[in-house]
Amino acid sequence: MRQRALALVTASTATAVVAGLLVAAPGTPATAAAAAAPQDRREPPKVATVVGTGGAVSSVDPDASRVGLRVLKKGGNAVDAAVATAAALGVTEPFSAGIGGGGYLVYYDAASGKVRTIDGRETAPAAMKKNAFIDPKTGEPYPFTPDLVTSGVSVGVPGTPATWKRALDKWGTWSLAKTLKPAATLARRGFVVDRTFRTQTRDNRERFRTFTSTKRLFLQDGLPRVGSVFRNPDLAATYDLLARRGVGALYRGVLADEIVEAVRRPPVSGLTDLPVPPGSMVAADLAAYDALGRRPTKVSYRGVDIYGIRPSSSGGSTVGEALNILERFNLSTATDVQALHLYLEAGALAFADRGEYVGDPRFTQVPLRHLLGQTYADERSCLVNPATAAAKPVPPGDVTAYDGTCGAPATREPDDRADTEGVSTTNLTVADKDGNVVEYTLTIEQTGGSGIVVPGRGFILNNELTDFTTEYEAGDPNRIQPGKRPRSSMAPTLVLRDGKPLLALGSPGGSTIITTVLQILLNRLDLGMTLPAALAAPRVSPRNTATVLAEQAFLDQYEALLEAMGHQLAPVGDPGTSAAEIGAATAIEFGPGGVMTVVAEPNRRGGGSARVVDPQG
């Protein structure tokens, strides 16, 4: 969670205090990033769990959650509040999300009882070559980071603005202009820099120095100080432009031309030796973009229905298949260690099929009906030994030949392709007084995306195309192809009981998104944890790798017991850093009488911000 403060500052900072909030005075340079450290601070409340009625918002950031809650209190519905919250996150979490990226949205419509989804994933330019990630000087792939991610060639056509438009047009009650206004105000007034923002800036300093526009915005006065006020008037003006002209200004107007220019001729500073391979995007790629409405995935598990995102994301199919495998086992009588063992095995099997079969359905035939079928899962579950871990990686199953019974083991080769999906993403959960629910995951991919700020526009372009497999293989469902959406792991998820919402949840974290959502469901539905405990519990991420990565708290509790069953575990990231954490979830549980338990992470990423319209107690 990002800590904020309101500040009084002197005239020398070129600001004025209006209604207790910092407002840029006329003449303030558009690229000014941070004001002097404030003398007085008033931090927004850091609340990870609240209970109440009337509507709710949960996100990683208190300013963003406050914006969404205000929309609900002013009569906006869940979709209006979700778009407003997402736009605010583009201000306060610019290294994780924004209009230069994409994402997936799941919506429950209370009036119809239907679940709908939007695929706002970025797309590859029409001229993208299959060897786009190969350095022509060496004939070898560019080093993934920092070289490949810091580039124009990594930038996909953004999908976030089109997602907002589609959601508002279909289900919202507010205009785009009205939903963007709070975020534009926040960008002008600024937010208080916390340790996470400073650390993320520091960790990306070399990449940000590579581009004149990015250096000017984020490093003008060196690293931003904790407690200083960061303003982004360029982004405020961009939001104003979209408010006046609609998202067409980004996909067909002057802003489209500026994005193309930044991708094809990145504004390099000459201060670093990063190669910055240019991209091939043209204006027609932006004009052709469409956020797609798709039917959700659906599986039944322990008497509830679980809805998610279908391909181009692998989130819904992989979570769903793993749950179908677990359905065969009675976890109500299992110990925690036995349940975790089964979770690790089911996750590995589902990830094996993810790598073999899942990609953009416009370019590859995804056997989704088989992957989400209980009969197929029953046969896959035959490979799970309740007492001993299988050697990893496990091979994928054969969707063309199965009958649900145990027979000969799979003979296909395991997938050994490296997973390069970035972990810098954000998630939000919103519900309104009428029972409508939005679960929305959005991203610019890597922390800091491509590193390229569109000059004068205040937002970073994504590096989403690095989610494609780096080296082209003809049979790979996630190979580079023009116009294609790279495979994602985003998994915004809704759980319904008897047609009514029971849970809504999602998380950032690259491919660990899938395992985070799956483990929270296991914790809540099978292990009897409360929702706050289910989010707070230490995590482990089974992705069909020889060594399973886990948080240190998980290793402290379970490593010896699970290694005795044959699992190989190791810590994720450096201890004491955000890299040592898995996910940063948000969730809402719906109880009788319209009572909502609204939950954000208590500690990961500094803790999240849960808000409710009418709190109880």
DSSP letters, 217-239, are HHSBTBSPPTTPEE--HHHHHHH
User: What pLDDT, in 10s, does the model give residues 305-320?
Assistant: 999 999 999 999 999 9
In this structure, what token pair is assigned to residue 297?
A: 């995935």
pLDDT at 388: 97
Q: pLDDT at residue 15 above 90? A: no
In this structure, what token pair is assigned to residue 37?
A: 């450290």
In this structure, what token pair is assigned to residue 167?
A: 């959601």
User: What pLDDT, in 10s, does the model give residues 76-115?
Assistant: 999 999 999 999 999 999 999 999 999 999 999 999 999 9
- The answer to whether 517 and 510 have CB atoms below 8 angstroms apart is no
Mean pLDDT of 218-238: 94
Q: pLDDT at residue 134 above 90? A: yes
pLDDT at 391: 96
pLDDT at 421: 59
- Which stretches of 492-590 are assigned E, i.e. beta strand? 493-497, 500-506, 540-541, 548-550, 569-571, 586-590
d(CA 336, CA 330): 12
In this structure, what token pair is assigned to residue 421?
A: 């999906």
pLDDT at 244: 97
List, as own/partner pairs, every contact residues 334-337 make where C-beta atoms lie below 8 angstroms and the sequence separation is at least 24, other chains included: 336/527, 336/558, 337/558, 337/561, 337/562, 337/565
Greater confidence (300 vs 6) lies with 300
Q: pLDDT at residue 161 above 50? A: yes
Cα radius of gyration rounded to whole Å, the chain: 23
Mean pLDDT of 553-580: 90
Mean of the per-residue pLDDT values of the chain:
91
Q: pLDDT at residue 382 above 70? A: yes
d(CA 316, CA 306): 9
Mean pLDDT of 24-51: 52
Q: pLDDT at residue 35 above 60? A: no
425 included as an active-site residue: yes
Q: Confidence band (pLDDT; 50, 70, 90) for 256?
A: very high
DSSP string, 470-519: SS--TT-TT---TTPPPPB----EEEEETTEEEEEEE--STTHHHHHHHH
Q: pLDDT at residue 329 above 60? A: yes
pLDDT at 420: 55
Mean pLDDT of 279-304: 98
Could you give the C-alpha distances from 394 to 320, 345, 353, 454, 542, in angstroms and in order? 18, 9, 10, 43, 11
The partner residues of 540 in beta bridges, in order of sequence, read 550
In this structure, what token pair is assigned to residue 554?
A: 């998980």
Is the Cα torsion angle 314, 584, 438, 49 positive or negative in sign? Answer: positive
pLDDT at 573: 82
pLDDT at 332: 87
Q: pLDDT at residue 20 above 80? A: no
Of the candidate ranges 37-51, 457-471, 506-520, the one whose mean pLDDT is the lowest: 37-51
d(CA 443, CA 101): 6
User: What pLDDT, in 10s, does the model give residues 427-478?
Assistant: 999 999 999 999 999 999 999 999 999 999 999 999 999 999 999 999 999 9
d(CA 339, CA 218): 46
Share of the chain above pLDDT 70, in %: 89
pLDDT at 340: 98
Mean pLDDT of 150-162: 98
Q: Confidence band (pLDDT; 50, 70, 90) for 7?
A: very low
Q: Confidence band (pLDDT; 50, 70, 90) for 6?
A: very low
Is the Cα torsion angle 609, 610, 614, 617 positive or negative in sign? Answer: negative
Q: Confidence band (pLDDT; 50, 70, 90) for 579?
A: confident
Under the phi-then-psi rule, with left for phi > 0, alpha for psi from -120 to 50, and beta for the rest, what region is 222? Answer: left
Q: Confidence band (pLDDT; 50, 70, 90) for 27?
A: very low
Q: Confidence band (pLDDT; 50, 70, 90) for 196?
A: confident
Share of the chain above pLDDT 90, in %: 84
The three-state secondary structure class of 52 is strand
Q: Confidence band (pLDDT; 50, 70, 90) for 1?
A: very low
In this structure, what token pair is assigned to residue 193?
A: 């820099």
Query: Among residues 447, 428, 465, which one has the least CA distance to residue 159?
Result: 465
pTM, rounded to two decimals: 0.92
Q: pLDDT at residue 358 above 50? A: yes
**Cα 261 from chain centre:** 27
Strand (E) or helix (H) holding 109: strand 102-109
Mean pLDDT of 384-388: 96
Q: pLDDT at residue 23 above 60? A: no
Mean pLDDT of 253-264: 97
Q: pLDDT at residue 17 above 60? A: no
Q: Using omega within 30 degrees of 0 as the cis cutoff, is the peptide bond preceding 182 cis?
A: no
Q: Confidence band (pLDDT; 50, 70, 90) for 574?
A: confident
H helices within 123-159, ranges in order? none
What count of other Cβ atoms lies within 10 Å of the Cβ of residue 498? 8
Q: pLDDT at residue 8 above 90? A: no
- The answer to whether 612 and 8 have CB atoms below 8 angstroms apart is no
In this structure, what token pair is assigned to residue 227?
A: 């407690």
pLDDT at 114: 98
Q: pLDDT at residue 590 above 70? A: yes
Q: Which of 163, 297, 364, 425 is catalytic?
A: 425
pLDDT at 194: 86
Q: Confidence band (pLDDT; 50, 70, 90) for 582?
A: very high
Q: pLDDT at residue 40 above 80? A: no
Q: pLDDT at residue 16 above 60? A: no
Residue 592 C-beta-side C-alpha neighbours within 13 Å? 0
What count of other Cβ atoms lies within 10 Å of the Cβ of residue 177? 15
Q: pLDDT at residue 233 above 80? A: yes
pLDDT at 53: 98
Q: What is the 3-state secondary structure (H, E, C) of 154-186?
A: CCCECCHHHHHHHHHHHHCCCCHHHHHHHHHHH
d(CA 193, CA 198): 7
Q: Confidence band (pLDDT; 50, 70, 90) for 31?
A: very low
d(CA 428, CA 509): 13
